[in-house]
Structure 1
Amino acid sequence: MAYNEQLAKRLRASFELQPQSVRSNISEKKMFGGVAFLYSGKMTVGIVKDNLMVRVISDKMEKTLKSKHVRPMDFTKRPMKEFIYVSQEGISNEEQLLNYIELGLEHAKHKLNNL
């Protein structure tokens, strides 16, 4: 199944707004039948069908899951640890999208700092 190309364009444009130190470390990789954006090799956000996929640090999962239009990522029919899906309604504007990108970047940086 194809992923939402329009959302991919929005993500690319949003990453262009990040500081150079972030932009230069972002790569794309086909994953989960969609596309993922990685920071220094660590997954941040991605797209599966029409859903935004976001990595979230454990400490913020409970609060984030209470947000409207957010649910656990259940790609394998079971919730995946530190992954969420955000429906299109939850990223209807660029501010919302940037907030989820920041969560994903925070997760990647946290993983890199704990290596």
Structure 2
Amino acid sequence: MTAQQSLVERVRHALRDRSPREVPMFGGVSFMVEGRMVVAARREGALLLRINPSAAAELLARPGARPALMGADRPMGDGWISVEPAALEGTGLDSWLAPALSFHAAQGTK
């Protein structure tokens, strides 16, 4: 099983009560909840998160986080971060899903 496949399974399990829809995009598998993307499991096993831009600095200070890039060098903006696979081990995944789900909930059904 590849790093991406393993992460997809773990995210699928963590979001099972939210009935996510899986969509291929952002170089991986994106998880949509209520029609909006929450996270994506990228090919290399990193997690792409949609977050509140005002929380970006705090979240980027955490180990394993970096600004998300589209391609090799195009920043996706303050509302997107990427988390390396090592930071997702054990309970790490849940700790990273939390801010993405919080931002998703704050957005309502806009």
Same fold per superposition (TM over 0.5): yes
**Cα distance change of structure 1 residues 92 and 86 upon mapping to structure 2, 3 Å threshold:** same
Q: Secondary structure at the match of 1:112?
A: coil
Rounded Cα–Cα distance in structure 1 between residues aligned with 2:3 and 2:69: 16
Q: Which residue matches 1:51? A: 46
Paired residues of 2:26 and 2:40 also in contact (CA < 8 A): no
Q: Please, what TM-score do these two structures have when normalized by structure 1? A: 0.82
Identity %: 25
Q: Which residue matches 1:90? A: 87
Cα deviation code 1:18-58 (max 9, x no counterpart)? xx4xx23x211110221101111111111121211111101
Q: Please, what TM-score do these two structures have when normalized by structure 2? A: 0.85
Q: What is the root-mean-square deviation of aligned Cα atoms in Å?
A: 1.8
Name stretches of at least 5 consecutive residues in structure 2 with no aligned partner: none
Name stretches of at least 5 consecutive residues in structure 1 with no aligned partner: none
**Corresponding residue to 2:62 among 58, 64, 67:** 67
